[in-house]
Amino acid sequence: DAMVIQNPRYQVTQFGKPVTLSCSQTLNHNVMYWYQQKSSQAPKLLFHYYDKDFNNEADTPDNFQSRRPNTSFCFLDIRSPGLGDAAMYLCATSSPSGFTYEQYFGPGTRLTVT
């Protein structure tokens, strides 16, 4: 089945130690997103790629970076994780069809910072 895959599902890192989360998709969608979701809060968009064009949200901290080496893969790099970065990170994809931008989500990676 075509899907969005995130690895790992659970990631523990130390304060200040760089960490990379990965996302892959078999949907061949041209848009990929990264969201941060903290407990009882809405998913918050960090950035997205429209094909190779990177779009950063204005309030995304510089600590968060992203790479998209090809259509299928997208990575979230947290350069120096702080305790406040502990959250669920969701990857999603979409492919514009007319004016509808349905998003397909991965299962998420839960990041713990110790």
Partner 1 sequence: AQRVTQPEKLLSVFKGAPVELKCNYSYSGSPELFWYVQYSRQRLQLLLRHISRESIKGFTADLNKGETSFHLKKPFAQEEDSAMYYCALSGLGGSGGYQKVTFGTGTKLQVIP
Binding site for partner 1 (CB under 8 A): 4, 31, 40-43, 45, 48, 50, 53, 55, 90, 92, 96, 99-108
Q: Specify the residue, 45 or 86, whose C-beta has the smaller distance to partner 1.
A: 45
Q: Specify the residue, 92 or 113, whose C-beta has the smaller distance to partner 1.
A: 92
Shortest Cβ 17–partner 1 spacing (Å): 27
Separation CA 107–CA 112 (nearest Å): 16
Q: Specify the residue, 90 or 113, whose C-beta has the smaller distance to partner 1.
A: 90
> 85 — phi, psi (to 5°)?
-90, -5
Produce one character per residue of 73-100: b if its CB has 16 or more CB atoms within 10 Å, e if not: ebbbebeebeeebbbbbbbbbbeeeeee
Straight-line distance from the first to the last Cα atom of the chain, in angstroms, rounded to the nearest whole number: 36
Shortest Cβ 13–partner 1 spacing (Å): 23
Shortest Cβ 36–partner 1 spacing (Å): 12
